[in-house]
Amino acid sequence: MNQPTPPAATTPILRLADVSKTFVGTNALQDISLEVHAGQVLCLLGDNGAGKSTLIKILSGFHAPTTGTMEVDGEPVVFKSPRDASDRGIATVHQFGGTFPLMSVGRSFWVGVEPSKGRGPLKWFDKKFAGEVAVREMRSLGITRVTDGNRLVGSLSGGERQTLAIARAVYFGAKVLILDEPTAALGVKEASHVLRIIMQARAKGIAVVFVTHNVLHAMMVGDHFAVLIHGRKADDFHKGERTREQITDLMAGGEAMAELEAELDKLQAGA
């Protein structure tokens, strides 16, 4: 492919160039090129099975791309494991799970980076501190009903769990925060809370990759949008460059939506 034009004012934190991913039998992704910038929200839109989760699994080190390259801060990188990605400041909240229902809030906040007390072989996991920090960080993101770090994660609501996962990523200094459909299972109030947290993270200079198929949610927080259809990038645009109808049509494959509207009109007329 041709060389990218001279870099814009800022180098993107994350750049994908011509990334493809093939699973046995399916081309989940084909020739995806994307840039993610600090302090911006990139919305990845697409219908079920479009390849959104596959794309962020590549960004977060879960899958290696079949072809194509990835750069972090302008440096080429190859992630061998999720740990490599998190070492580079890329934190991911996956679509399903991401937190541990039967663990306490404090424990689950610190999985993999447990704080310790004491020294040498007698170092121990500082549970009290772990719980206090988890509760405090959730409160700073507006969750005030969780006051006890010993509470099991499974007793939190969906929005509270998303907040816990995001609080964790922000606390550990993520530069890129990837959220896979964080609002999909949430009610209106909880979803708007998560959207607010996304804006908070953006204000801190964190680059956010927000995966969703809710166009409304995307338009509320997005600076930049990419639409995936059957594993290909169908469109790529900035805030204000498309209307909601245009995006919805694009995601649904254009005619399908117009047809549906016509049908609905007919039904309404008949009623």
Partner 1 sequence: MSAQLSEARPQAPSGAAPRPPSPLSIRGLVYRPEAGALIGTLGVFVFFAVFGGSKFLAAGGTASWLNVAAELGIIAIPVGLLMVAGELDLSVGSVLASSSMTLAIVSGHWGGPMILGIVLALAAGVVTGLLNGLLVTRTNVPSFVVTLATNFGMAGLTLGLSRVITGTTSVGIKPDPASKAVFGTLIGGQFEVAIFWWLAVAAVVAWVLQMTKYGNWVLAVGGDPVSARACGIPTERLKVVLYVASGFGAALVGVIQTCLYNGAQVANGQSFVFNSIIAVVVGGVLLTGGYGSVIGVILGTLTFAIVNQGIYYTGWNADWASFILGVLILAAVLMNNTFRRLALSARAGKKA
Residue closer to Mg ion (CB basis): 95 or 157:
95
175 CB-side CA count, 13 A: 14
Give the 3-state secondary structure of residue 124: strand
3-class secondary-structure state, position 212: strand
Residue 93 tokens read as 């909240």
The correct pick among 40, 54, 86, 162 for binding partner 1 (CB under 8 A) is 86
Number of neighbours of residue 165 by Cβ within 10 angstroms: 23
Residue placing its CB nearer to partner 1 in the complex, 109 or 225: 109
Yes or no: say if 179 and 93 are a contact pair by the CB < 8 Å rule.
yes
Residue 53 touching Mg ion (CB under 5 A): yes
Query: Encoding tokens for residue 42?
Result: 């990139």
Q: CA 118, 121, 125, 126: dihedral to nearest 10 degrees?
A: 0
Distance in Å, CB of 77 to partner 1, minimum? 16
CA distances, 148 to each of 145, 229, 231 (Å): 9, 44, 43
Taking Cα atoms as reference points, which of 33, 28, 39, 19 lies closest to residue 221?
Answer: 39
Cα gap 52→45, rounded to integer Å:
7
Closer to partner 1 by Cβ: residue 147 or 243: 147
How far is the C-alpha of 158 from the C-alpha of 162, rounded, in Å? Answer: 6
Nearest approach in angstroms of CB 95 to partner 1 is 11
Indicate the residue among 82 and 115 with the shorter CB distance to Mg ion: 82
Token pair of 196, please?
């607010």
Segment 85 to 114, residues that bind Mg ion, using CB under 5 A: 95
Site string for ligand ATP, 84-123 (x = CB under 6 A): -----------x----------------------------
Q: Kindly tell me which residue out of 48, 112, 120, 145 binds ligand ATP, with binding defined by CB under 6 A.
A: 48
110 contacts partner 1 (rule: CB under 8 A): yes
- Of the residues 40, 60, 163, 183, which one makes contact with partner 1 according to CB under 8 A: 60
Binding of ligand ATP by 53 (CB under 6 A): yes
d(CA 183, CA 190): 8
Q: Does the footprint of partner 1 cover residue 54 (CB under 8 A)?
A: no
- 50 touching ligand ATP, by CB under 6 A: yes
Q: How far is CA 92 from the centre of its chain?
A: 6
> Which position among 4, 8, 10, 23 is part of the footprint of ligand ATP (CB under 6 A)?
23
Give the one residue of 8, 83, 199, 264 binding partner 1; rule: CB under 8 A. 83
Give CA–CA dist 78/63, Å, rounded.
10
Of the candidate residues 49, 76, 118, 154, the single one contacting ligand ATP (CB under 6 A): 49
List of residues 6+ apart from 269 with CB closer than 8 A: none
What residues from 200 to 229 belong to the interface with ligand ATP (CB under 6 A)? 213
Q: Which residues bind ligand ATP (CB under 6 A)?
A: 23, 26, 28, 46, 48-54, 95, 213
Q: Which residues bind partner 1 (CB under 8 A)?
A: 60, 62, 81-83, 86, 92, 94, 97-104, 107-108, 110-116, 123-125, 131-133, 136, 139-140, 144-152, 154-155, 171-173
